[in-house]
Amino acid sequence: MIEGVTIYDILTLTTILFFIGVYGFLTRKNLISILISVEMILNASVVNFVIINKYLYPDVLQGVLFSIFIIAVAAAETALAVAIIINLYRQISSVEVKDTEVMKY
Amino acid sequence: MNLTYITLIPMIPLLVFLVLGIFNKKIKPLVSGYVGVFGLLASAMLSFYAAYEYFFVHGKVDGVFQTFSIKSVWMNFTETLHIDMGVLVDPISVMMLVVVSVVSLMVHIYSRGYMKGDDGYTRFFAFLSLFTFSMYGLVLATNLFQIYIFWELVGVSSYLLIGYYYTKTSAIAAAKKAFIVTRFADFGFLIGIIVIGYYTGTFDFETLNNPEGSAILNWASTSFMGLSIITWALILIFIGGAGKSAMFPLHIWLPDAMEGPTPVSALIHAATMVVAGIFLVARLFPMYYFVEDGFALNIVAYVGAFSALFAAVIAITQTDIKRVLAFSTMSQLGYMMLALGVSGYEGHEGVGYMAAMFHLFTHAMFKALLFLGAGSVIHAVHSNYLNDMGSLRKYMPITNITFLIAALAIAGVPPLAGFWSKDEILVAAFEHNKLIYYVGVFVAGLTAFYMFRLYFGIFWGKDRSYEHAPKESPLSMTFPLIVLAVLSAVAGFMPFSEYVTADKAGFQAHLNYPLAAVATSVGLLGISLAWVFYKKENTLPDVYAKIFGPFYKWASDKFYFDEIYLFITKKIIFKYISAPIAKFDKKYVDGTMEGIGNKTVLVSKTIKGMQSGKVQDYAFGFIAGVVVLVIVGIYLWSN
């Protein structure tokens, strides 16, 4: 609980954060930038978990624990994504999204 | 009687076929020749032992030859209607075992010399073994369906062997023709089998042939277009037999089948496979005889008599020696058919049946000998045509003498084999049908004439100036000639009528002296005419060919039967039936299917553009979808 800040303010903030992530995911040309955008979407949901836990059910800890869990999974996922991007770079010498179109064949 | 070793008789050639067929390229020709010959020798020994045991030890009980069989059910339809696999041992199957063994063994030995140096030597022996296996299976079959299976197997091996020189266009065409014509006839056979199975409830020979059995006694209970259905079925089965035995009008494949190697002609198209039709009629003889007072049997008699006459006339005019022999085979097969056709059932009445089987036996020996002799001549002269031969007696003494024995035998000169069997046939015809008897006597004269035309043409006449002097063939080829010549000379003295008869009881056959005298003098007349015409080169043949004019031309063109068939098939069936059906098939049946395919391709082409391969396009679609769903959800929820 933060004095003077309502749950609506924080939910507005996470919504903005989430849609910035979505916008970045759709428009960025670089795979790394897309990865960063995905991280923003994840962070928005993590904050949502914590806030809802704190404001609505202060007696329990599930929301907080879940956010830690999500951060761990996101870290693993990022490691995997970076590995894929590096491999892709070795193959086509580029991390541009438009160069990965050939993978549909 | 212990039958287990009889099942081995067909199995040995099958094994040889598999070994030679699978290791085709790896086996040396010398080895494959020995494998083939010794495999068959084993089968032949077992066959001879079976014949000895059947005819002299176990076969006869109370003066009647018994039928032994072992069967195992292979396919079950109803309680009584099932297809068995097994072996059936009775006088005719044992006799056929001996015929097939002797001729096949001789042909195997002969082929080792004749085919020497040929590229497909091992393949040839493999096919010969396949054929021998199928033929053994055919004669030992216990029921109509089993005989049908092996019937088709001999057809296939005949096809493979006729087309053995597969680089020769004429050989391929002949192989196809033989297969299609016999297959067409077998269609009738198959329908006959199904009809018999449906109306009598069994395929089994022993049940069908029982004169007191329901199949024979109840023939009148069903009728179709004025005849008993069983009679129709027997006629249909006879069509199958006529196709295989080259009876008129299904004979057109046999002369062309001579494109195969000569040993094949001797084995398949003279001695064994072509008698399968006669064997089939003989196998079902009680049915043919008792059902509708032998209506179907009369058809057999007239078709046989006509074929005998028809083929003998053509044989006189042919110049290819193998074709002369082919038409001669057809004529002799007609003889056997007519003998079956005029036969009765019990005791001396059944002389026709016994004569047909006797003639089958002796004919197998001397016709195989004639073909092998012709092969020996072709081997030396490298030509099939009479125009390229003459005076070969100086170069090939053994072939000359053995060929002469065979020619005398087929002409019916006593005391050689053909005289005895032909005499019995004429006795049977004389006692039952005078018209057929006169045809038979006339054909006997023609046979003697064309056979000695052939003999004088090859071994006497003008000495052609050969480029390479013809040599006598090697021992592997002359040995079978000598063996078969001995058999052709003495086979007639067998008391055949005591062993192989329609009612299986046996009777004493006596020479009918007046009839024998008539037949012999007609034969001698034919021979002396041939002597006058062909012994020395002269102009008589040409003069007489001119006198007969158009008739001679028709006969030498085989009465245009090939052309008639071609006209019917190509100009009528292909043009007015097959072509429209093919067009319908292409346009509508194929069209529908292809239309479905083409439409699918078209649709997928248009929707293919949606798959851009860009991750962000997909993500946009996904998010847009979520947005739409959310809007719809809110709209519904708020109401």
* Residue given tokens 């519904």 in the structure block: B636
Q: Tens digits of per-residue pLDDT, A13-45? A: 999 999 999 999 999 889 899 999 999 999 999
Residue B94 and residue B210 in one domain: yes
Residue B196 and residue B301 in one domain: yes
Q: B37-46, B288-297, B330-339, B384-393: which has the minimum mean pLDDT?
A: B384-393
| pLDDT at B437 exceeding the cut of 80 | yes
User: CB B619 to CB A26 under 8 A?
Assistant: yes
Residue whose C-alpha is closest to residue B457's, from B391, B556, B532: B391
Distance (Å) from the C-alpha of residue A79 to the closest C-alpha of chain B? 19
In a domain, B264, yes or no: yes
What pLDDT does A71 receive?
A: 93
Among B residues 7-46, those touching chain A with beta carbons less than 8 Å apart: none
Distance (Å) from the C-alpha of residue B617 to the closest C-alpha of chain A? 8
CA separation for the pair B516, B538 (Å, rounded): 33
Contacts of A34 in chain B (CB under 8 A): 615-616
Residue B288 and residue B370 in one domain: yes
Which string of b and e fits B290-320 if b means at least 16 CB within 10 Å? bbbebbbbebbbbbbbbbbbbbbbbbbbbeb
Distance (Å) from the C-alpha of residue A101 to the closest C-alpha of chain B? 5
Residue B6 Cα to chain centre, angstroms = 23
In a domain, B239, yes or no: yes
What pLDDT does B531 receive?
A: 82
Contacts of A22 in chain B (CB under 8 A): 623
Q: How many structural domains are present in chain B?
A: 2
In a domain, A1, yes or no: no
In a domain, B475, yes or no: yes
In a domain, A105, yes or no: no
Residue B225 and residue B88 in one domain: yes
More confident residue, A44 or B118: A44
Identify from B608, B612, B616 which residue to disrupt to test chain A contact, counting A C-beta atoms within 10 A and taking the largest count.
B616
Residue B33 and residue B135 in one domain: yes
What is the pTM for the complete model shown? 0.78
CA-based nearest residue in chain B for residue A104: B613
In a domain, B573, yes or no: no
Give the nearest partner residue to B620 out of A26, A97, A100, using CB atoms.
A26
Beta strands in B482-580 (DSSP E): none
Among B residues 592-631, those touching chain A with beta carbons less than 8 Å apart: 611-616, 619-620, 623
User: Do β-strands B68-76 and B64-65 pair in parallel, antiparallel, or remain unpaired?
Assistant: unpaired
Distance (Å) from the C-alpha of residue A104 to the closest C-alpha of chain B? 5
Q: Tens digits of per-residue pLDDT, B508-564? A: 877 778 888 888 888 888 888 888 887 777 777 777 777 777 777 777 777 778 788
In a domain, B313, yes or no: yes
State which of B522, B540, B556 marks the end of a domain.
B556
| Residues in a beta bridge with B89 | B68
**Domain range for B332:** 4-556
Distances (CA, A) of B569 to A23, B206, B575: 77, 40, 8
CA-based nearest residue in chain B for residue A102: B613
Among B residues 395-454, those touching chain A with beta carbons less than 8 Å apart: none
CA separation for the pair B332, B531 (Å, rounded): 22
Q: Averaged over B436-449, what is the pLDDT?
A: 89
Region for residue B108 given its phi and psi (left: phi exceeds 0; alpha: psi -120 to 50; beta: otherwise)? alpha
Residue B491 and residue B619 in one domain: no
Q: Is B143 helix (H, G, I), strand (E, B) or coil?
A: strand
In a domain, A29, yes or no: yes
CA separation for the pair B287, B297 (Å, rounded): 9
In a domain, A34, yes or no: yes
Residue whose C-alpha is closest to residue B306's, from B347, B246, B230: B246
Mean pLDDT of chain B: 86
More confident residue, B220 or A23: A23
User: CB B614 to CB A98 under 8 A?
Assistant: yes
Q: What is the CATH number of the domain that holds A22?
A: 1.10.287.3510
Compute φ and ψ for B62, nearest 5 degrees.
55, 40
Residue B351 and residue B209 in one domain: yes
CA separation for the pair B234, B281 (Å, rounded): 9
Contacts of B613 in chain A (CB under 8 A): 100-105
Count other C-beta atoms under 10 Å from residue B614's C-beta: 14
In a domain, A86, yes or no: yes
User: CB B616 to CB A97 under 8 A?
Assistant: yes
Q: A25-34, B55-64, B485-494: which has the minimum mean pLDDT?
A: B55-64
In a domain, B600, yes or no: no
Among B residues 477-506, those touching chain A with beta carbons less than 8 Å apart: none
Q: Tens digits of per-residue pLDDT, B387-416? A: 778 777 888 888 888 889 998 888 888 888
| Residues in a beta bridge with B76 | B82
Q: What's the angle, vertex CA B411, arms to CA B324 and CA B260, rounded to 5?
A: 30
CA-based nearest residue in chain A for residue B617: A26
Residue whose C-alpha is closest to residue A48's, from A14, A8, A88: A14
Region for residue B324 given its phi and psi (left: phi exceeds 0; alpha: psi -120 to 50; beta: otherwise)? alpha
User: CB A104 to CB B613 under 8 A?
Assistant: yes
Distance (Å) from the C-alpha of residue A40 to the closest C-alpha of chain B? 16
Q: What's the angle, vertex CA B604, arms to CA B603 and CA B606, rounded to 5?
A: 70
B162, two tokens = 């006729």
**Domain range for A59:** 7-95
Identify from A25, A31, A105 which residue to disrupt to test chain B contact, counting B C-beta atoms within 10 A and taking the largest count.
A25
Q: Tens digits of per-residue pLDDT, B550-603? A: 777 777 777 778 788 888 888 888 888 888 999 999 889 999 999 999 999 999
Q: What is the DSSP letter of A30?
A: B
CA-based nearest residue in chain A for residue B610: A104
Q: Is B73 helix (H, G, I), strand (E, B) or coil?
A: strand
Please answer whether residues B320 and B258 qualify as being in contact, where contact means their C-beta atoms are separated by less than 8 angstroms.
yes
In a domain, A103, yes or no: no
Contacts of A27 in chain B (CB under 8 A): 616
Q: Using pLDDT thresholds of 50, 70 and 90, give the confidence band for residue B251.
A: confident
Angle between helices B351-381 and B417-432 (to 10 degrees): 140
User: CB B616 to CB A25 under 8 A?
Assistant: yes
Distance (Å) from the C-alpha of residue B619 to the closest C-alpha of chain A? 7
Residue B634 and residue B551 in one domain: no
Contacts of B630 in chain A (CB under 8 A): none
Contacts of A100 in chain B (CB under 8 A): 613-615
Please answer whether residues B352 and B423 qualify as being in contact, where contact means their C-beta atoms are separated by less than 8 angstroms.
no
Element housing B89 (H / E): strand B82-89
CA-based nearest residue in chain B for residue A19: B623
* Helix, strand, coil percent content, chain B, rounded in steps of 5: 75, 5, 20
Distance (Å) from the C-alpha of residue A98 to the closest C-alpha of chain B? 7
Handedness of CA A88, A89, A94, A95 (dihedral sign): positive
In a domain, A101, yes or no: no
The string of DSSP codes covering B323-354 is: HHHHHHHHHHHHHHHHHHHT--SSGGGGHHHH
The string of DSSP codes covering B224-277 is: ETTEEHHHHHHHHHHHHHHHHTT-TTS-THHHHGGGS-HHHHHIIIIISGGGHH
Contacts of A25 in chain B (CB under 8 A): 616, 619
What pLDDT does B534 receive?
A: 78
Residue whose C-alpha is closest to residue B360's, from B273, B428, B258: B273
Alpha helices by DSSP H, listed for B412-474, are: 417-432, 434-459
CA separation for the pair B104, B268 (Å, rounded): 9
What pLDDT does B191 receive?
A: 92
Among A residues 10-49, those touching chain B with beta carbons less than 8 Å apart: 22, 25-27, 34
Distance (Å) from the C-alpha of residue B624 to the closest C-alpha of chain A? 11
Distance (Å) from the C-alpha of residue A70 to the closest C-alpha of chain B? 22
Residue B481 and residue B624 in one domain: no
What pLDDT does B465 receive?
A: 67
Give the nearest partner residue to A101 out of B614, B619, B623, using CB atoms.
B614
Count A/B contacts: CB-CB distance under 8 Å: 26
State which of B556, B573, B592 marks the end of a domain.
B556
Residue B631 and residue B537 in one domain: no
Residue B635 and residue B497 in one domain: no
Identify from A37, A84, A104 which residue to disrupt to test chain B contact, counting B C-beta atoms within 10 A and taking the largest count.
A104
In a domain, B36, yes or no: yes
Please answer whether residues B429 and B358 qualify as being in contact, where contact means their C-beta atoms are separated by less than 8 angstroms.
no
Q: Within 13 Å of residue B221, how many CA atoms lie on the same side as its CB?
A: 7
Q: Tens digits of per-residue pLDDT, B222-245? A: 777 778 888 888 999 999 989 888
CA-based nearest residue in chain A for residue B614: A101
State which of B510, B534, B556 marks the end of a domain.
B556
User: CB B613 to CB A103 under 8 A?
Assistant: yes
Give the nearest partner residue to B614 out of A27, A97, A105, using CB atoms.
A97
Q: How many structural domains are present in chain A?
A: 1
User: CB B613 to CB A101 under 8 A?
Assistant: yes
In a domain, B154, yes or no: yes
What pLDDT does B617 receive?
A: 84
Model-level ipTM above the cut of 0.85: no
CA-based nearest residue in chain A for residue B615: A97
Residue B266 and residue B180 in one domain: yes
In a domain, A53, yes or no: yes
Identify from B610, B611, B614, B615 which residue to disrupt to test chain A contact, counting A C-beta atoms within 10 A and taking the largest count.
B615
CA separation for the pair B536, B527 (Å, rounded): 14
CA-based nearest residue in chain A for residue B623: A22
Residue B603 corresponds to which amino acid? V
